[in-house]
Amino acid sequence: MRLVEVRLGERSYPIRIGAGLLAEAEKHLPALARPRAVIVTNPTVGALYLERLEAAFAKRDIRVDTITIPDGEGHKTLETLFQIHTGLLEAKAERSTTLIALGGGVVGDLAGFAAATYQRGMPFIQVPTTVLSQVDSSVGGKTGINHPLGKNMIGAFYQPQAVIIDTDTLATLPDRELRAGLAEVIKYGIIRDLPFFEWLEANVERLLARDADSLAYAIERSCRNKAEVVEADERESGERMLLNFGHTFGHAIETGLGYGTWLHGEAVAAGMVLASRLSRGLGLIDAAACERLTALIERAGLPIAAPNLGVARYRELIARDKKSAGGPGRFILLRGLGAAFSTTQYESNALDRVLAGDSSP
């Protein structure tokens, strides 16, 4: 088992990574306030892994109830959040009851927001089952829901008590979702970890082939990168903004096309290419860096061409992005591979050229 610690004082927690952890989850749980838990999952993941997790809890005589919510980004809504609240009330859950998120990023974001708001806060554990949730959304305490006008605009910072990553769950992950998760893995190399980017260039086909050792290493390296950033900037007032590389464009793609049309990782992949082209257009990186980034994303089976929403529509969606804070759009750009920075200072014409599909410097 691999162990990564997120060090946040009294809110610190472990990330445990390994094969077969679900079957022995009782060994990896933090001390529970009471022997009572509620699992939030969806029908797809529940059919595969719920019984295994329930059996592990039974070994510690932990009473478990289950709330099953609809699957997919299109259900990351206030209505589904209310469904979880209703389920908690019907189960007579208390403030000391532990909420468990068993699933991908949608389940984790919704369950985490429910945990933050039910009786003003209840203990929360993440059990992510997709690459994207294992390397990104389960770590760092961001929870929330989407709004028709913008992605992740309503939520809370609420740290879990533990993250339990069973890499065996990736065996049942559809190929498209595996590829989408790799977008967030590649992101860490691009923004702050050049040696990891180079490792990914040499090993991306191993990841696509689901080589167990390669996946475990990539998950651990990604979690360590995210943990370091979260420890330095938990509330996203500075360095943590770098984790949004490609996301300003990506969120615009998701919102503009309709949630669920493109997977989050697919939209981020295309968004990272746009961000690199904007960096190139501003003279911050050379063509070789832009080409290496694009080539790796393409080798991972991810889109490198953004949909044509039109410059005006992209501008409208970017202006609504929560990182813009009512001002000009904020972008994470590159001074080189492994060297990202946050800025609102850029040439408007350069942005328009990128949004129009012009890849020339």
Alpha-carbon torsion, ordered 241, 246, 251, 257, to 10 deg? 180
d(CA 340, CA 326): 23
d(CA 53, CA 59): 10
Choosing from 73, 151, 152, 184, which is the catalytic residue?
Answer: 184
Question: Is 205 a known active-site residue?
Answer: no
Question: Is 142 a known active-site residue?
Answer: yes
Question: Is 247 a known active-site residue?
Answer: yes
d(CA 180, CA 253): 14
Choosing from 187, 226, 323, 353, which is the catalytic residue?
Answer: 226
Question: Is 187 a known active-site residue?
Answer: no
Question: Is 94 a known active-site residue?
Answer: no
Going by C-alpha positions, the residue among 20, 107, 105, 100 that lies closest to residue 64 is 100
Choosing from 247, 277, 322, 330, which is the catalytic residue?
Answer: 247
Choosing from 76, 192, 240, 322, which is the catalytic residue?
Answer: 240
CB 342 within 8 A of CB 275: no
Question: Is 251 a known active-site residue?
Answer: yes
Choosing from 10, 92, 120, 235, which is the catalytic residue?
Answer: 120
Q: Cα angle vertex 165, ends 173, 110, to 5°?
A: 75
Question: Is 240 a known active-site residue?
Answer: yes
Question: Is 75 a known active-site residue?
Answer: no
d(CA 2, CA 18): 6
Choosing from 244, 277, 322, 323, which is the catalytic residue?
Answer: 244
Choosing from 28, 36, 142, 330, which is the catalytic residue?
Answer: 142
Choosing from 236, 277, 280, 323, which is the catalytic residue?
Answer: 236
Catalytic residues: 120, 142, 184, 226, 236, 240, 244, 247, 251, 264
